[in-house]
Amino acid sequence: MTEGAEGAEGAPLAGTLLDAALDAAKGKPWPRQSPGGSATWWGTQGRQLAVAMRLCGVAPGVDEAVQLAQAAALQVEALLLREGAQSIAEQPGYRRRGQATVAVFERLITKPGLLRRVLAAGHMAGLWGAPWRWDAAGHCLRPWAFRGDGTRPP
């Protein structure tokens, strides 16, 4: 893992949904019990890890066409997503799921336009609706037209 993805304070992925994947990749399970109402417990780690896997296209069982579109939108190699999904299918433990997820996001943070790429991939994964953008000239929200191959919106 790169230092930027390790979850250190101020790192690009720290304090995000990916904290669960970062900890899982390092073999750090969140506590099984959550006395006092902490947000970091085992069930939460599993749910956040599942969302992160879908977001980056490494969840096993993702349709190949969707996975290819996500790879294009994220601007990463499709082979990285396929290998990640295959490794999870072979050994579905939380550590393997975290490693496959973090491997994709380590590639993402090295290129500009991270938010745009993540928004497109999340929409393709069915995690949220189509992105919108603020049109300052028209003082309104406009649908964000984008292609699945990573082409920038107009």
Cα–Cα distances in angstroms (integers) from residue 58 to residues 9, 114, 116, 145, 154, in the given order: 26, 18, 19, 25, 29
Per DSSP, helices labelled H in 8-110 are 19-25, 42-56, 64-74, 78-90, 94-108
Q: What is the average pLDDT across 127-142?
A: 89
> Higher model confidence: residue 29 or residue 14?
29
Q: What confidence tier does 152 reach under pLDDT thresholds 50, 70, 90? A: low
| 3-class SS of residue 132 | strand
Tens digit of each residue's pLDDT (9 = 90 or more) over 81-110:
999 999 999 998 999 999 999 999 999 888
* Domains of the chain, residue spans: 3-128
> Higher model confidence: residue 92 or residue 1?
92
- The mean pLDDT value of the chain amounts to 84
pLDDT on residue 82: 95
Most confident of 12-21, 101-110, 111-120, 143-152: 101-110
pLDDT on residue 3: 42
What tokens does 1 get? 């893992």
Q: What confidence tier does 9 reach under pLDDT thresholds 50, 70, 90? A: very low
